[in-house]
């Protein structure tokens, strides 16, 4: 079973994320949508998980897109729509100095770097409270493909979005749009 993304073009709505995640997991596993094995729990930091299934998940939302990653292996995913921001200030504050310097030379990669950082935070389940500088995002002049030994993959999604998957099985992830709510 390989990694998969399921996404929905919609405004995020209260209480809908778990329902969407169960729908995606039903498709991924072949279980009926109402199967009790699709029950969800959350870690103390709020990361959802399926206590009755050998299935890992991670959820992200940005720019009117809700997206989840499902995998037999632990995963973290982050999607970010490119938007106006003070990238230099944010980089100096939250990234390593060499990463902030790199972004001065590669400002168009700001959201790729952000997604790399946050997908790892989602992978660990600790969120970004421990900081986004817990691993180096650069190997020389290029963005790293590993965070503390865990694979990182930037996945093409749509123009104007960055998407990164941390962990997973390493295969090419399938990308499926879910029917609307």
Partner 1 sequence: MFETIQEIVYQVTGKTGLTLDTDFVTDLELNSFDIMNIVSAFEDRFDTAIPTRDVWKLRRVSDVIAYMEQHGVGKP
Number of H helices, E strands in the chain: 4, 12
Under the binding rule (CB under 8 A), the answer on residue 119 touching partner 1 is no
Inter-residue contact 69 to 3 (CB < 8 Å): yes
Q: Is 108 in the site for partner 1 (CB under 8 A)?
A: no
Residue 80 binding partner 1, by CB under 8 A: yes
> What DSSP line would sit under 47-84, residue for residue?
-EE-TTSS-EEEEEEETTEEEEEEESS-EEEEEEE---
Contact between 44 and partner 1 (CB under 8 A)?
Answer: no
User: Between 129 and 148, how does the x/- string for binding to partner 1 read (CB under 8 A)?
Assistant: x-x-----------------
Cβ 84 to partner 1 shortest distance, Å:
8
The pair of structure tokens assigned to 75 is: 């995963």
Binding site for partner 1 (CB under 8 A): 12-14, 60-62, 80, 83, 85-86, 89-90, 93-94, 114, 118, 121, 127-129, 131
């Amino acid at each position: 079973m390989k990694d998969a993304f399921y996404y929905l073009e919609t405004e995020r709505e209260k209480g809908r994320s778990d329902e969407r995640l169960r729908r995606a997991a039903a498709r991924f596993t072949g279980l009926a949508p109402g199967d009790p094995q699709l029950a969800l729990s959350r870690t103390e930091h709020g990361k959802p998980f399926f206590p009755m299934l050998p299935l890992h998940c991670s959820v992200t939302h940005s720019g009117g897109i809700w997206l989840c990653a499902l995998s037999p292996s632990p995963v973290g995913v982050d999607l970010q729509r490119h938007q106006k921001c003070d990238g230099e200030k944010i980089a100096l504050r939250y990234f390593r100095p060499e990463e902030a310097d790199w972004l001065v030379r590669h400002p168009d990669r700001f959201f790729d770097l952000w997604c790399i950082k946050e997908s790892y935070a989602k992978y660990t389940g600790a969120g970004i409270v421990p900081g986004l500088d817990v691993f180096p995002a650069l190997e020389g002049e290029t963005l790293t493909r590993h965070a503390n030994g865990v694979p990182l993959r930037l996945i093409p999604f749509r123009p104007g979005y960055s998407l990164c998957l941390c962990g997973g099985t390493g295969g090419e992830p399938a990308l499926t749009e879910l029917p609307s709510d």
